[in-house]
């Protein structure tokens, strides 16, 4: 005999169970909640998940201006952004503040126009001290940016110019620590380093983050800023030249240059960047060639040197100058500024500090020589075959970016100045 279990459930009980089941479904599901103002415009809107605010929630005022954006995690505020508008003009956003989960200000933006692609930004450490500040235009940092230590003092500045910027790192007292150009996240050109006493201790020349030369300075201890010795090394850490300040004057020293083998290449006295007195020049095997040079100068003075009967040579150079260097209006140093050289509108080479190369001409005639940065310098030279010409290039600090200088030099001076240049000669054929 089978027994049946019969349970009597009232209609009221069934209704209660259905209501509880529906509430459970609503609590468990994810949906968008929207609350409106009396005029029907949105007041706040966001996601409800498992009965709690979750994700992004936006809030508006009665002018339909977004005033706050909050990000929730399981009902807890993780971060928030507040928007502030000018009361006299609807929609004119002038300030944005970002806060973290502890309600500490982390970012700050101010606008001077309705164009929100340009603004002034400030970033903060977790202790609320300023971390960095500067101008942004179309998602790029522009002009000067300042970066601070967590304890409040200025750490470094970056002056932006398109795809590159001048980076200046500072000591705690505000003195320069390191400075140079960064281009596409790589160090380029001349970089200088100073010690805490504001003495220039190192100058490094870079190309695409690769060291080309490094110059180190040593100073006398009895007089601040008085150089004792300056050594310049190649990328292979080979000594290229040495300056000995035996006269205890920064503009007067004994300059010694070296071959990569370590043997002397030349030696003599320099005063105010000019060679003076007796200079000795050596072959790589150590033998002296001074008498040969003297004879060469004599022949040049008498116009007896002839390259060939079918060509002429223009020896183009820029005197090697050493730190400290004059600073241009754009913040760059004169020594570290290069420019292009053109002959009859043909790009010949880049003129940099200490450069030297030869250009061969096979046709007699008038040649236009032009050096160009922002401002150009042009000279005309009538070239006759069978002769050697010396073209001295320089950079004058009389403009924001500097002005190129071009000058045809007499043979004696040209030989004296080009002999000291250690650069590899690049011969260009027209």
Total domains, the chain: 2
Question: What's the distance, Cα to Cα, between the start and end of the chain in Å?
Answer: 120
| Own/partner long-range contacts of 153-157 (Cβ < 8 Å, ≥24 apart) | none
Verify that 323 and 235 share a domain, yes or no.
Answer: no
Least confident of 61-70, 222-231, 326-335: 326-335
What number is the average pLDDT over the span 346-369? 89
Verify that 270 and 165 share a domain, yes or no.
Answer: yes
Verify that 335 and 388 share a domain, yes or no.
Answer: yes
Verify that 275 and 330 share a domain, yes or no.
Answer: no
Is 164:182 a contact under the CB 8 Å cutoff?
Answer: yes
**What are residue 66's DSSP bridge partners?**
60
The Cα 216–Cα 233 span in angstroms is 8
The Cα 45–Cα 69 span in angstroms is 10
3-class SS of residue 24: helix
Which among 375, 362, 358 is positioned nearest to 414, based on CA atoms? Answer: 358
**Domain-ending residue, one of 232, 250, 281:** 281
What number is the average pLDDT over the span 214-231? 94
Taking CA atoms, 261 is separated from 30, 194, 231, 326, 423, in Å, by 77, 31, 16, 33, 16
Whether the predicted pLDDT of 221 surpasses 80: yes
Verify that 309 and 217 share a domain, yes or no.
Answer: no
Give exposure, 84-103, as e/b (b: 16+ Cβ within 10 Å). Answer: ebeeeeeeebbebbbbeeee
Does a structural domain hold residue 399? yes
- pLDDT tens figures, 6-40: 334 454 554 454 445 454 545 558 999 999 999 99
Verify that 272 and 175 share a domain, yes or no.
Answer: yes
Verify that 247 and 312 share a domain, yes or no.
Answer: no
**Domain-ending residue, one of 248, 281, 314:** 281
- pLDDT tens figures, 70-97: 999 999 999 999 999 998 888 899 999 9
- pLDDT tens figures, 278-309: 788 888 888 876 543 434 444 444 433 445 67
Verify that 272 and 319 share a domain, yes or no.
Answer: no
In the 8-state DSSP scheme, what is residue 327?
A: B
The Cα 430–Cα 180 span in angstroms is 36
Whether the predicted pLDDT of 427 surpasses 90: no
Least confident of 144-158, 163-177, 363-377: 363-377
pLDDT score of 13: 52
Verify that 189 and 123 share a domain, yes or no.
Answer: yes
| Domain ranges, residue 173 | 81-281
Q: Name the band, by pLDDT with cuts 50, 70 and 90, for residue 45.
A: very high
Pairing of strands 365-372, 356-361: unpaired
What number is the average pLDDT over the span 213-228? 93
Q: In whole numbers, what is the pLDDT of the chain averaged over residues?
A: 85
Verify that 125 and 222 share a domain, yes or no.
Answer: yes
DSSP 241-294: EEEEEEEEETTEEEEEEE-TTS-EEEEEEEETTEEEEEEEEB-TTS-B-HHHHH
160: left (phi over 0), alpha (psi -120 to 50) or beta: beta
pLDDT score of 243: 95
pLDDT score of 308: 64
Q: What is the pTM of this model?
A: 0.58
H-run or E-run covering 412: helix 411-419
**Domain-ending residue, one of 235, 255, 281:** 281
Q: Name the band, by pLDDT with cuts 50, 70 and 90, for residue 255.
A: very high
Verify that 180 and 152 share a domain, yes or no.
Answer: yes
Verify that 245 and 324 share a domain, yes or no.
Answer: no
């Amino acid at each position: 005999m089978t027994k049946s279990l019969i349970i009597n459930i009232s209609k009221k009980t069934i209704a209660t169970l259905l209501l509880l089941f529906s509430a459970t479904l609503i609590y468990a599901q994810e949906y968008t909640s929207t609350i409106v103002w009396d005029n029907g415009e949105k007041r706040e809107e966001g996601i409800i998940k498992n009965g709690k605010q979750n994700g992004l929630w936006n809030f508006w005022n009665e002018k339909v201006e977004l005033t706050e954006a909050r990000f929730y995690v399981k009902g807890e505020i993780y971060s928030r952004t507040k928007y502030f508008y000018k009361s006299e003009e609807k929609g004119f956003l002038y300030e944005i503040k970002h806060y973290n989960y502890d309600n500490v200000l982390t970012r700050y933006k101010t606008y001077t126009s309705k164009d929100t692609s340009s603004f002034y930004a400030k970033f903060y450490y977790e202790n609320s001290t300023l971390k960095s500040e500067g101008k942004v235009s179309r998602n790029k940092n522009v002009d000067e940016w300042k970066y601070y230590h967590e304890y409040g003092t200025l750490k470094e500045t970056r002056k932006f110019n398109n795809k590159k910027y001048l980076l200046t790192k500072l000591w705690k007292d505000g003195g320069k620590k390191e400075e140079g150009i960064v281009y596409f996240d790589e160090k380029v050109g001349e970089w200088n380093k100073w010690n805490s006493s504001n003495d220039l201790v190192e100058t490094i020349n870079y190309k695409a983050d690769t060291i080309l030369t490094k110059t180190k300075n040593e100073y006398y201890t009895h007089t601040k800023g008085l150089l004792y010795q300056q050594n310049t090394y190649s990328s292979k850490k080979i000594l290229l030249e040495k300056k000995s300040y035996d006269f205890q004057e920064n503009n007067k020293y004994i300059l010694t240059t070296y071959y990569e083998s370590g043997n002397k290449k030349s030696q003599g006295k320099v005063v105010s960047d000019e060679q003076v007195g007796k200079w000795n020049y050596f072959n790589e095997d150590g033998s002296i060639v001074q008498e040969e040079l003297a004879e060469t100068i004599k022949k040049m003075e008498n116009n007896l040197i002839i390259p060939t009967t079918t060509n002429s040579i223009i020896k183009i150079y820029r005197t090697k100058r050493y730190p400290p260097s004059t600073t241009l209006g754009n913040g760059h140093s004169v020594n570290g500024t290069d420019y292009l050289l053109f002959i009859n509108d043909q790009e010949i080479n880049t003129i940099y500090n200490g450069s030297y190369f030869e250009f061969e001409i096979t046709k007699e005639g008038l040649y236009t020589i032009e050096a160009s940065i922002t401002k150009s310098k042009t000279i005309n030279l009538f070239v006759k075959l069978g002769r050697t010409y010396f073209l001295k290039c320089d950079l004058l600090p009389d403009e924001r970016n500097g002005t190129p200088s071009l000058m045809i030099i007499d043979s004696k001076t040209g030989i004296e100045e080009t002999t000291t240049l250690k650069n590899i000669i690049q011969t260009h054929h027209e």
